[in-house]
Amino acid sequence: MLRWPRKRSLVMGVCAAATLLVAVLRSTPQEPATPARLAEQGSGEGVLVTRAIDGDTITLATGELVRYIGVDTPETRRRVGGRWVEDPEPFGREAAEANRRWVDGKRVRLEYDVQRHDRYGRVLAYVYVEGEMINAKLLEEGFAQLLTIPPNVKYVERFQALARQARREGRGLWHGGG
């Protein structure tokens, strides 16, 4: 007679554990399978860039804003009284135009680092067009300065070398000794 209560307790325990497991799995937030996530996972098509906002930020066809990791280009506009006004910093227009030439209307592949979003909700990524990393190209051509924000430091040594070389060779921002 003691066998039935033990069996019942075991069955009840297994059921409770299974219920708890299902509840935990259902409550775990999962990132949506957006085109950006599919691009990161190696999708051959990537995701379409609808607009280069400036030298280091783009808008995807999904509506997501993507901020390039590791680089900072001069601004092309600023906020005044709640609205944006055109007020480019030196070399801001050139950096924005280069980014437009390289990515506007093209499909890109995104690579993420440790932190995937910034405090403004933008996606943080390394952006590739036809296998070429645009973040690195901006530094190499002198359109950007190095901007290292941990924990996203996967390519920091490569970026440091590219920034030093652009400065040494007087490219872009560094023309005239910058």
Active site residues: 67, 75, 122
Q: Rounded to whole angstroms, how far apart are CA atoms 93 and 99?
A: 10
Select from 155, 138, 169 the least CA-distant residue to 71: 138
Q: What residues contact 145, with CB distance under 8 A and at least 6 apart?
A: 71, 72, 73, 139, 163, 173
pLDDT given for residue 21 in this prediction: 42
Q: What residues contact 9, with CB distance under 8 A and at least 6 apart?
A: none
Write the CA distances from 103 to 10, 60, 100, 173, integer angstroms.
Answer: 60, 10, 5, 20
Q: Rounded to whole angstroms, how far apart are CA atoms 151 and 52?
A: 25
pLDDT given for residue 76 in this prediction: 74
List the pLDDT tens digit at each of the 178 positions of the chain. 445 566 555 555 554 554 444 343 444 344 443 333 434 444 446 999 999 999 999 999 999 999 999 999 988 776 668 876 676 677 789 999 999 999 999 999 999 999 999 999 999 999 999 999 999 999 999 999 999 999 999 999 999 999 999 999 999 988 865 5
pLDDT given for residue 130 in this prediction: 95
In the block, tokens 């070389």 appear at 165
Select from 159, 172, 77, 174 the least CA-distant residue to 126: 159
Give the strand pairing for 123-129 and 57-60: unpaired
Q: Which domains does the chain have, with CATH numbers?
A: 32-173 (2.40.50.90)
Which letter does DSSP use for residue 1 in this model?
A: -
Write the CA distances from 153 to 87, 150, 159, integer angstroms.
Answer: 31, 6, 10
pLDDT given for residue 91 in this prediction: 77
pLDDT given for residue 30 in this prediction: 41
In the block, tokens 């995807």 appear at 60
Q: Are 113 and 69 in contact (CB under 8 A)?
A: yes
pLDDT given for residue 23 in this prediction: 44
pLDDT given for residue 24 in this prediction: 39
Q: Are 56 and 67 in contact (CB under 8 A)?
A: yes
Give the strand pairing for 65-68 and 57-60: antiparallel
Q: Rounded to whole angstroms, how far apart are CA atoms 156 and 126?
A: 12
